[in-house]
Chain A
Amino acid sequence: MARPKAHEWRTELDDLMRGIAGAFLFGAPFLYTMEVWWKGNFTSPPRMMLILCIAYLSLVLLNIKGGFRAQQPRSYAQILAESAEGLAIALFAAALSLTLIGILRFEIGVDAILGKVITLCLPFAIGVGIANNILLKTNGDDADSTSKRDGSEGSIVDHHWHKRAWRSTLSDAGAALLGAIIVGASIAPTDEIPMIASSLSPVRLLLIMASSLLLSYIIVFAANFGGQRRRRSQPGFFQGPISETLASYLISLAISLLMLWLFQVIRIGDPVNQWISYMIVLGLPSTIGGAAGRLAM
Chain B
Amino acid sequence: MTEQPIRNRAEWISLGISLTLLAGVVGTVISLWLQPSLKPAEFTVKRGQVRTSNNQYYLPVTIQNEGDATATQVTVEGTLETANTEETATTTFDFVPARSDAESVLIFSQEPAAAIVRVVSYQEP
Instruction: Give chain A residues whose Cβ lies under 8 Å from the Cβ of B32.
Output: 45, 48, 110-111, 114
Contact indicator A8/B9 (Cβ below 8 Å): yes
Does B11 count as interface, using CB distance less than 8 angstroms? Answer: yes
A74 to B1 Cα, complex, angstroms:
9
Contact indicator B14/A16 (Cβ below 8 Å): yes
Q: Given that A16-B14, A114-B29 are contacting pairs, would A108 and B97 also be in contact in the complex, using a CB cutoff of 8 Å?
A: yes
Contact indicator B18/A52 (Cβ below 8 Å): no
Instruction: Give chain B residues whose Cβ lies under 8 Å from the Cβ of A9.
Output: 10
Q: Given that A46-B33, A85-B18, A88-B21 are contacting pairs, would A41 and B70 also be in contact in the complex, using a CB cutoff of 8 Å?
A: yes
Contact indicator A76/B19 (Cβ below 8 Å): no
Contact indicator A89/B18 (Cβ below 8 Å): yes
Interface string of A156-177 (1 = CB under 8 A from B): 0000000000000000000000
Instruction: Give chain A residues whose Cβ lies under 8 Å from the Cβ of B98.
Output: 109, 111
| Max chain B C-beta neighbours (<10 A), residue from A16, A87, A89, A108 | A108
Instruction: Give chain B residues whose Cβ lies under 8 Å from the Cβ of A45.
Output: 29-30, 32-33
Q: Given that A48-B29, A88-B21 are contacting pairs, would A12 and B14 also be in contact in the complex, using a CB cutoff of 8 Å?
A: yes
Contact indicator B25/A112 (Cβ below 8 Å): no
Does A276 count as interface, using CB distance less than 8 angstroms? Answer: no
Does A42 count as interface, using CB distance less than 8 angstroms? Answer: yes
Does B100 count as interface, using CB distance less than 8 angstroms? Answer: yes
Does A49 count as interface, using CB distance less than 8 angstroms? Answer: yes
Does B47 count as interface, using CB distance less than 8 angstroms? Answer: no
A85 to B5 Cα, complex, angstroms:
13
A109 to B8 Cα, complex, angstroms:
39
Name B1-46 residues within 8 Å CB distance of A: 1, 3, 5-11, 13-15, 17-19, 21-22, 25-26, 28-30, 32-33
Q: Which one, A11, A46, A74, A108, contacts B10 given CB within 8 A?
A: A11
Chain A interface SS verdict (over half): helix
Q: Shortest CB–CB separation between residue B37 and chain A, in angstroms? A: 8
Does A81 count as interface, using CB distance less than 8 angstroms? Answer: yes
Instruction: Give chain A residues whose Cβ lies under 8 Å from the Cβ of B125.
Output: 41-42
Q: Given that A41-B125, A111-B70, A114-B32 are contacting pairs, would A87 and B6 also be in contact in the complex, using a CB cutoff of 8 Å?
A: no
Does A104 count as interface, using CB distance less than 8 angstroms? Answer: no
A11 to B6 Cα, complex, angstroms:
13
Contact indicator B100/A3 (Cβ below 8 Å): no
Q: Shortest CB–CB separation between residue A158 and chain B, in angstroms? A: 42
A75 to B113 Cα, complex, angstroms:
71
Q: Which one, B5, B13, B33, contacts A81 given CB within 8 A?
A: B5
A52 to B6 Cα, complex, angstroms:
23
Sample (30) of A-B pairs whose CB atoms are under 8 Å apart: A1-B8, A8-B11, A12-B8, A12-B11, A12-B14, A16-B14, A42-B125, A45-B30, A48-B29, A48-B32, A49-B29, A49-B30, A75-B1, A75-B3, A76-B1, A77-B5, A78-B5, A84-B18, A84-B22, A85-B18, A87-B22, A88-B19, A88-B22, A89-B18, A91-B22, A107-B100, A109-B97, A111-B70, A112-B70, A118-B29
Excluding A12-B10, A85-B18, 9 further A-B contacts by CB distance (< 8 Å) are A9-B10, A12-B8, A41-B97, A75-B5, A78-B6, A84-B19, A108-B97, A110-B28, A112-B100
